[in-house]
Amino acid sequence: MNLGRVIGNVWATRKVETLKGRRLLIVQPLTFDRRPAGDPLVALDTMDSGPGDHVIYVSSTEATIPFRPALTPTDATIVGVVDSVDLETGGWQAGGLESGSLESGSLDSVSPG
Averaged pLDDT for residues 87-105: 53
pLDDT, mean over the chain: 81
Q: What domain count does the chain have?
A: 1
Report pTM: 0.76
Inter-residue contact 55 to 36 (CB < 8 Å): no
CATH assignment at residue 14: 2.40.50.220
* Per-residue model confidence (pLDDT) at position 69: 77
* Per-residue model confidence (pLDDT) at position 24: 95
> Which one-letter amino acid corresponds to residue 5?
R
Q: How far is CA 77 from CA 55, 86, 103, 108, 110, in A?
A: 10, 23, 31, 20, 15
* Per-residue model confidence (pLDDT) at position 90: 65
* Per-residue model confidence (pLDDT) at position 89: 67
* Per-residue model confidence (pLDDT) at position 108: 39
Q: Is the pLDDT of residue 105 over 70?
A: no
Q: How far is CA 5 from CA 15, 24, 50, 78, 80, in A?
A: 24, 14, 9, 10, 11
Domain membership of residue 80 as a residue range:
2-111
Averaged pLDDT for residues 31-47: 93
Q: Is the pLDDT of residue 50 over 60?
A: yes
